């Protein structure tokens, strides 16, 4: 398997084992995002620290996850982005759209801060 999915209380974590997020992996990943959404999950953290290569299919999958989470009033956070993938995100200007953190613990902290804001009524700021 190219990635592993683990369900936690407030989020689902997808950890990549593969070094590639490309057209061979993207369809399964998109299906996983839809499945997570159907389970009424709204927060997805994605650890891509092993990913060294990403193509347009991979970027498309990331955008789908971001849209699914936003529509569910949740968060999609990517962590562990390697230099080549970071460069691609910057070139495609997705670095301005996708929430990114250097490490998984920082992604979890970021998620809990967003959840706290939503619970305090701060979710209207995005609308």
CATH of the domain at 32: 3.30.750.24
Q: At 22, phi and psi to the nearest 5?
A: -135, -165
Q: Which domain holds residue 80?
A: 3-126
CA–CA distance, 33 with 44 (Å, rounded to integer): 8
CA–CA distance, 57 with 102 (Å, rounded to integer): 23
Query: What is the total count of domains within the chain?
Result: 1
Please state the pTM of the whole predicted model: 0.90
pLDDT digits (tens, 9 = 90+) for 29-88: 999 999 999 999 999 999 999 999 999 999 999 999 999 999 999 999 999 999 999 999
pLDDT digits (tens, 9 = 90+) for 87-112: 999 999 999 999 999 999 999 999 99
């Amino acid at each position: 398997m190219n990635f592993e999915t683990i369900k936690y209380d407030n989020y689902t974590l997808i950890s990549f084992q593969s070094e590639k997020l490309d057209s061979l992996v993207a369809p399964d990943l998109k299906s996983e995002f839809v499945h997570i959404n159907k389970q009424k999950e709204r927060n997805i953290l994605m650890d891509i620290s092993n990913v060294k290569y990403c193509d347009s299919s991979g970027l498309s999958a990331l955008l789908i996850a971001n849209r699914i989470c936003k529509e569910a009033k949740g968060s999609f956070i990517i962590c562990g982005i390697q230099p080549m993938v970071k460069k691609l995100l910057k070139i495609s200007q997705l670095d301005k759209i996708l929430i990114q953190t250097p490490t998984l613990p920082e992604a979890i902290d970021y998620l809990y801060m967003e959840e706290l804001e939503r619970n305090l009524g701060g979710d209207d700021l995005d609308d």
